[in-house]
Amino acid sequence: MNCLSFDFHSASVGMRKHFAFSSERRGRLLTDFCARTGGNAFLLCTCNRTELYFTCGEAEARSAWEALTSPEAAKFVFYGGEEAEKHLFRLACGLESMLIGEDEILGQVKDAFLFALERKTTDSELNLCARAAIACGKRTKAQTGISVIPRSVSTLAANAVAAFPKEEKRVLLIGSTGKMGRAILDNISAKKHVFVIATTRTHGGFSRVEEKENVFVADYAARYDYLNEADIAVCCTSSPHAVLTEEGVRGALKEKKKRLFLDISVPPDIEAGVAGIEDCTLVTLDDFEAQAQENNRAYEAEIRRVEKLLEEDWEDYRKEKHLRGKLREREYTPMQKKRAFAVRGGTTEEYCRAVDAALEGEE
């Protein structure tokens, strides 16, 4: 298994937005990529990364990926073989996230894998690695304290709302029905003295957001109508275009007061020009990175525990991968298979030698 990766380490939000694909586009990309290369693949797209996992060679994958997306895809970082597999394990455990240890990525990896599985673009090699990585992520989350205190982008957004210098705050949340939007809504609506205006696109007259004492549901189309009364605007949609333009914001703001705009979308939901409007502060995903790094340092002890568990699961995966690979090489007798499955313990190298001996031994 190999991987092409474009994440917050290697690209800004402005670059990553070109590879923020809709669900429909992801499905087409997977199908077309596999058809071009004759291999298998699954595609992970989040606000902080786009990663393609595949079974063909690097040159073939790069050629197909650039043809299907953009010449900018040449900037994707390549991970090969066990480096790619280990990267996926670390990713599922939250060790490659902007906020180390955040657990939203585990669900995103799982969703990306199931998305490809449903479209039949994976194979046994990808399935084995993805399932093992997801299981490892679940284990480290359950057995360490790395995610006891929520440390996700949604939490950073909620903290920014709480820190806004006003006792009673009115928050306009645009994009409240997606996973990120629901997480942010839950976080900020739980804060004291916060009133949320949550916009949603209604379907058949029904909203997917439940109104509460401090949550009012408004139509997305009326978002500018509510902007003037808001102290903070949080945008987290999956729209390919800006949902708050500089012109629209300037026209909507009548009352002079300090306002905070939080844009945690890729591509950006808020035009950069909003930062130049008087009394308006714009915070983007890139701005969260320094705070994320500070938080990461506080979790070093828990990170070491996660890495220890990860290494255990990684070696178990390597053992299973070796056994399955040997069994695919040729037909073995039931007795040879029984001896191979009975091998236990030892380092990975010792285990592999013992499995080889069991399979090659006489019946």
Per-residue pLDDT tens over the stretch 16-46: 888 888 889 999 999 999 999 999 999 999 8
In which order are the strands placed within the sheet that holds 215-219? 215-219, 194-200, 169-174, 232-235, 259-263, 280-284
Question: CA dist 196 to 84, 180, 265, 279, Å?
Answer: 42, 15, 19, 21
CB atoms within 10 A of CB 224: 16
pLDDT higher than 50, residue 229: yes
Q: pLDDT digits over 50-87, tens only? A: 999 999 999 999 999 999 998 888 889 999 999 999 99
Q: Which range (190-194, 255-259, 276-280) has the least confidence?
A: 190-194
Question: Model-level pTM greater than 0.85?
Answer: no
pLDDT in tens, 310-327: 999 999 999 999 999 888
Q: How confident is the model at residue 360 (pLDDT cuts 50, 70, 90)?
A: confident
* Confidence label for 205 from pLDDT (cuts 50, 70 and 90): very low
SS3 49: strand
- Report whether pLDDT(308) > 50: yes
State how far Cα 198 lies from the chain centre. 23
pLDDT score at 202:
57
**Summary mean pLDDT of the chain:** 88
pLDDT cut 70: percent of the chain above it: 95
Percentage above 90 pLDDT, the chain: 51
Domains and CATH numbers, the chain: 2-143 (3.30.460.30), 153-294 (3.40.50.720), 299-360 (no CATH)
pLDDT at 149: 55
Residue keyed to tokens 């007795």:
335
The Cβ-side half-sphere exposure at 216, using a 13 Å CA radius, reads 13
> Is a pLDDT exceeding 70 seen at residue 204?
no
Quick one: average pLDDT of 141-169?
81
Least confident stretch, 132-141, 176-185, 273-282: 176-185
d(CA 252, CA 287) in angstroms, rounded, equals 25
Higher per-residue pLDDT: 133 or 175: 133
Please list, residue by residue across 160-171, b when 16 or more beta carbons sit within 10 angstroms of its beta carbon and e when fewer do.
bbeebeeeebbb
Is 229 within 8 Å of 196 (Cβ atoms)?
Answer: no
292 with 155: CB under 8 angstroms?
no
Q: Are 170 and 164 in contact (CB under 8 A)?
A: no
Tell me, what's the pLDDT at 206? 42
